[in-house]
Structure formats: C-alpha cells, structure tokens
Amino acid sequence: MSAYEQRKEVPDKRWQYILFAAEPYETIAFKIPSKEADTSDGKLLHRWDSVSGTYLVQVYFKEPLGAPVEQPGRNNE
C-alpha cells in the first residue's frame, strides 16, 4: 500500500506499507522504506510455520552499498 492510500498519517513518499490479513484477526500494516524490493533468487523469503502459527517474511531492498537507511520515528538528518 502506498503512503497515499492510508488514512492514519500524513502521506510521505519515502514510506510504503506492507499489509497482513489473517482470519479471525484484524489486518495489520508495517511501515517500510519506499524502495524497490530485490526479488532475485533467495532475496525474498517467506515461510509459514503451521505448528507455531508464525509467518516469517524477509525483504531485501535494491539500493547502493553504503546508502543511509532511514528508520520510522527517528530524526534522519
């Protein structure tokens, strides 16, 4: 979801949201950098563990080595 589709915060083009929906729970969203995801082999990982009820997602972003990483809620000067 883009920052312009959500209605909780002022839209900011630096961020996007990844949404997870699972019955009977409410949909939750995580704020992530608005960067292109690296979907090459082994770079986009996801796994469902039905025993523990845990879903794991790991995303790598395409950006130059050594580029500064912005974090939500921090002063990124």
Give the up-direction half-sphere exposure of residue 36: CA atoms within 13 A in the CB hemisphere. 6
- Supply the pTM of this predicted model: 0.59
Please name every residue paired with 33 in a beta bridge, in sequence order, or none if there are none. Answer: 15
Cα dihedral 8/10/16/17 (nearest 10): -10
Question: Rounded to an integer, what is the distance from CA 63 to the centroid of its chain?
Answer: 15
Q: What is the mean pLDDT of each run of 10 residues along the chain (77 residues)?
A: 68 85 86 87 90 90 68 60
Look at residue 37 in the predicted model and tell me its pLDDT.
Answer: 87
Predicted pLDDT at 19: 87
CB 34 within 8 A of CB 28: no
